[in-house]
Amino acid sequence: MRKYAEDKLNALIKTAGVTVEPFWPSLFAKALANIDINSLICSVGAGGSAPAAAAASTAAPVAAEEKKEEKKQEESEESDDDMGFGLFD
């Protein structure tokens, strides 16, 4: 059954006109071998908005962290100029 699923995935990938590493279809087929795909697809919307709320709550700290990293990077660039040498000196 898994080989059948792998063949179907390869056909889908070929029809889509995309390229993937050759190990992905077999890996995906193995991962989904014992899962009922119909129930998986039908239950996608059953979770409500909890995943969206969790994603929103984690997005704010990530954005703040990125701003901190940008600020640190800007400070380090400025400190190089203060040392008397730069890229075009």
> Could you report the per-residue pLDDT of 5-61, keeping only the tens digit for each?
889 999 999 999 999 999 999 998 898 888 887 888 888 776 655 555 555 555 555
Q: What does the chain come to in residues?
A: 89
Instruction: Pick 83 or 28 by higher pLDDT.
Output: 28
Burial (CB < 10 A; 0-12, 13-18, 19+), residue 28, is middle
pTM for this predicted structure: 0.41
Distance in Å from the first CA to the final CA of the chain = 67
Per-residue confidence (pLDDT) for residue 25, from 0 to 100? 92
- pLDDT over threshold 70, residue 63: no
